[in-house]
Chains A and B, each alone.
Chain A
Amino acid sequence: MNTQTKDLVTWRALNAAMHDILESTPEAFVLGEDITTWGTGGGTYGVTRGLRKKFGSGRVMDTPISEEVLLSAVSAAAARGTRPILEIMYSDFSFLGFDGIINQAAKARYMFGGQFDTPLVIRSNGGSGIGKAAQHSQSLETLFAHIPGLEVVVPGTPGDAYGLLRTAAASDNPTIFLEHKNQYYDRGPVDFTPIPFGQARIAREGTHATIVATQQILAYSMAAAEELAAEGIEVEILDPRTLYPFDMDAVYASVGKTRHLVVGHEAVRDYGWGAEFVAQTVEAAWDKLDAAPVRVGGARVPIPYSQPLEEVVIPSKDDIVAAVKRTLA
């Protein structure tokens, strides 16, 4: 088990979390397509590298390309006393097994009157930025967050990736853990401690406007904040880290200070989770706002392949700067 803080890239932080989970939790096992022998030695992005060598093929298992059975099987395996961690190569592929996630895992506890827990983690990646096009680049976190029974995690830094994955594995609920495919090589400090769900992180303190953002848009927001600071505008940036449970109290507290709100995500803006955060803020904290909140999100189009096309449908740093200025205008 790691203890001292280290600077790691995200995939290594996740790899360390998987290692520590398998070491500390005998009931845990890891499975997925091509997770041990792909070029990285650990799935498409290296996250499972070295785990089979350390823990054996009995606990780290390559599966056939069979999302439908895998997603329902892990639900039942969890209900029968194990703690599966299933890697879905791209979150887009989870659609093949939505029955297992949504009709089975998410509902088992409720519809059977609390008899069964389904402590499973579905790890996958979403997001755009590396030219994977329409069927490998969607941001589906809103869709999962809409389903009662699921927990939804969207880590935005290597440290959060480690800490939130540890918590996901310890949770007795089915957890959707969505990594961002364009952040596997982001570097940052990892202190190797679990991070509780439902606690937003203040990524930057400020006084003029609050930005709530995740993953790639969080990174763009940090860059936008630098640019705005040069003009004398200090934004506060919140990373909710989990979309369910979600930390509205942190949003209310921040808005109470800044009186302005921008919500940014890469998922399609319309009907996205940003609308939920804005709606709740407006309903519960209208008196704390001096202006209408602004949402920034992906355009309502599938993700295109060509780079200039992809870039224009995903919010940029400039879009965030403009959104902040709009709410402050």
Chain B
Amino acid sequence: MTTFHAAEQGLAGLELMAKIREFERRMPLLSDEGLIRGSTHPSLGMEAVAVGVSLALRDDDAIASNHRGHAHTLAKGADFGRTMAEILGRADGYCHGKGGSMHIGVKELGVLGTNGIVGAGIGIATGAALASKMKGDDTVAVSYFGDGASNQGVLAEAFNLAAIWKLPVIFVLENNHYAQSAAIEDMVAQIDLSRRGEAYGVPSFSGDGMDLAEVYELASAAVARARAGEGPTFLVLDTYRYLGHMAGDTEIYRSADEVEAAKKNDPIEKLLGQLIEQGAITTEGWEAMTARVFAEVEAAEQFARKSPFPDPAEAFTDVYAKETQG
């Protein structure tokens, strides 16, 4: 198994998690300001999953995400400014403002899109893995989805297909315990979701999604399996989202005490503590890191704010590869 190196993946992961948190922290503020249309779904508290998995991936690997996908995209290497610009519907966004928060794709990074359909990425990643197999390259594909999306039928079909064809795909279930507002206990009878993988012959592992090292090691093992042609892996990572499902969520479905208790298991604090204990970073080093993170995300936000809106004529481009209408 690949070993987690505090001085390498640990520090890089810490900084990336902090940066994503600072990015996501700004989402409700930008929403309140009226700069974000529709809905946006921040993932504060869930950073270790996206970052831990991404540290195990290469640029040419693919990911398929869901509605709560900023972290997955940023962790895969997306530029913070261009991502923010997309969320603000601006011309410098990755999709020139056509996608917004729920449809951010970055072709050169293998980001096959955040997705407005919560379980769609399960099939999309399976297809990216199929392309890998057809082309005979050794890229792998990751699907991120939630406990709620795991109740969609595509999961069963994708698990079976990936298992029989030994597709290089890693199914990453971020179990944050709520499907929008529905508690997992009310929506599934078998709470051990990893057993769904076993049923289809997909090796399955449960892990602490608030622990970067654990996520990284599970993901690295799954990536190694996939690259070696041994097929899919299912990772069920236990995590928690600190904010509501989206702006305007009253969160009547959970108690403030529950949220506060979850925050005691914060992935950034946890990793920071581990790294300080191992001597990989000092308190001063962390302060310098947070200042740097703040400045970088602030610059990203300013870039996005200054980016112009797309020309209205752009609404009519990109529908077809060639404008085939006679």
- Measuring CB to CB, which residues of chain A are less than 8 angstroms from any residue of chain B? 27, 29, 58-59, 63-64, 66, 68-82, 84, 99-100, 103-104, 107-117, 119, 148-149, 151, 171-173, 197-199, 244-249
Contact = CB atoms under 8 A, between A and B. Distances in A.
B105 A197 contact: no
Contacts of B110: 80
Contacts of B105: 108, 111-113, 115-116
B95 A77 contact: no
A82 B135 contact: yes
A73 to B, nearest CB: 3
B131 A246 contact: no
Interface in B122-141: 122-128, 130-132, 134-135, 141
A113 to B, nearest CB: 3
Given A69-B154, A82-B134, A76 B125 contact: yes
Contacts of B322: 171-173
A107 B320 CA distance: 9
B126 A73 contact: yes
Contact of B113 (A81, A111, A173, A244): A111
B5 to A, nearest CB: 31
Nearest to B139: A80
B96 A113 contact: yes
Given A82-B135, A111-B99, A113-B96, A68 B117 contact: no
Interface string B83-117: 00000000001111111000111110010110111
Nearest to A59: B134
B161 interface: yes
A112 B326 contact: no
B324 interface: yes
B127 A66 contact: no
A99 to B, nearest CB: 6
Contacts of B157: 64, 66, 68-70
Contact of A72 (B131, B154, B160, B321): B154
A109 to B, nearest CB: 6
Interface of B: 62, 64, 93-99, 103-107, 110, 112-113, 115-117, 120, 122-128, 130-132, 134-135, 141, 153-154, 157-158, 160-161, 164, 317-322, 324-326
Contact of A75 (B99, B124, B154, B317): B124
Contact of B325 (A27, A66, A82, A198): A198
A80 B127 contact: yes
A115 B324 contact: no
Contacts of A99: 117, 120, 123, 154
B319 A82 contact: no
Contacts of A198: 324-326
Given A109-B319, A116-B105, A75 B324 contact: no
A282 to B, nearest CB: 19
B326 A81 contact: no
A244 B326 CA distance: 9
B95 to A, nearest CB: 3
Residue of A73, A74, A82, A171 with most partner-chain B CB within 10 A: A73
B324 A197 contact: yes
Given A115-B95, A198-B325, A248-B326, A82 B161 contact: no
A198 B325 CA distance: 7
Contacts of A112: 94-95, 98-99, 103-105, 107, 113
Given A81-B131, A112-B99, A103 B320 contact: no
Given A80-B132, A149-B319, A198-B325, A115 B107 contact: yes
A77 B107 contact: no
Contacts of A79: 112, 127-128, 131
B318 to A, nearest CB: 4
A77 B99 contact: no
Given A64-B164, A112-B113, A76 B124 contact: yes
A113 B319 contact: no
A77 B134 CA distance: 9
Contacts of A27: 134
A276 to B, nearest CB: 13
24 contacts: A27-B134, A59-B134, A66-B161, A68-B154, A73-B123, A76-B112, A76-B125, A76-B130, A77-B134, A80-B135, A82-B131, A104-B123, A111-B99, A112-B95, A112-B98, A112-B113, A114-B318, A115-B95, A116-B107, A172-B322, A173-B324, A244-B325, A246-B326, A249-B326
